[in-house]
Amino acid sequence: MPESQPPLPTASMSLAEIAQALAERRLPPVEQWNPTHCGHSGMRIARDGSWFHEGEPIRRPAMVRLFSTVLRREPDGSHVLVTPAEKLSIDVDLAPFVATALKSEGDGRERRIAFELNTGDAVIIGPSHPLRVVKDSAGPIPLVAVRGGLEASLTRSVYYELAELALADGSEPPGIWSDGAFFMLTA
């Protein structure tokens, strides 16, 4: 059976093409499914975005993409994999997604920024997908809203690339514009 959600080739796409592809993507309506909780999935998403089942890495990217489409964040902050028939807890070390690449178009207030995610999906920073920076003992952690309370952390290289854009813009406090909204890069 062919994969229903192939990865987006964001490197070869314009921001307008990425936005169009995201608008056309159809994800399962996980927010409408409320089966009885069935237990734990035996799965964990590590801080670096790696997925594990019973301690073993899930090596098939298509499988990770499939699981990521049925991932939901509960009101208490926990994460579950949900289908119409079952709901299983999943442990998430930091955020379920990781932004692994950045694409920027425009300058200053006219800039738009898209992140490619480790699951082959993408998100454009803006009012619907805000970027925030939280304090951590290891330093600041930038997070971007993906969907339904789910977030993506940024790899260090993507965060540095974002910081370079902010420094080039010269805004005080340091921050970045995307899709008409300003996001500070400090916690």
pLDDT of 9 strictly over 80: no
Peptide bond into 84 cis (omega under 30): no
DSSP letter for 93, please: S
Specify the CATH superfamily of domain 27-92: duf1285 like domain (3.10.540.10)
Q: Which two tokens stand for residue 106?
A: 């425009």
HSE value, Cβ hemisphere, 13 Å, CA-based, for 183 = 28
Predicted pLDDT of residue 6: 74
The pLDDT tens digits of the residues spanning 47-96 come to: 999 999 999 999 999 999 999 999 999 999 999 999 999 999 999 999 99
Q: Which residue has the higher pLDDT, 2 or 11?
A: 11
pLDDT in tens, 86-118: 999 999 999 999 999 999 999 989 999 999 999
Please state, in angstroms and rounded to a whole number, the distance separating the CA atoms of residues 145 and 127.
Answer: 10
Residue with tokens 């409320």: 34
Q: Rounded to an integer, what distance in angstroms lies between the CA atom of residue 180 and that of residue 182?
A: 7
pLDDT on residue 30:
93
Alpha-helix runs per DSSP H in 29-183: 61-69, 156-169
pLDDT (0 to 100) of residue 4: 59
pLDDT band at 1 (very low <50, low <70, confident <90, very high): very low
Among residues 23, 29, 17, which one has the least CA distance to residue 148? 29
Q: What's the rounded mean pLDDT across residues 5-27? A: 78
pLDDT reading at 40 higher than 50? yes
Residue 43, both tokens:
């799965």
**Where do the structural domains in the chain lie, given as residue ranges?**
27-92, 97-184
Q: Who's near 170: CB < 8 A, 6+ residues apart?
A: none
Token pair 């890069």 is found at 185
Q: What CATH architecture applies to the domain 97-184?
A: Roll (2.30)
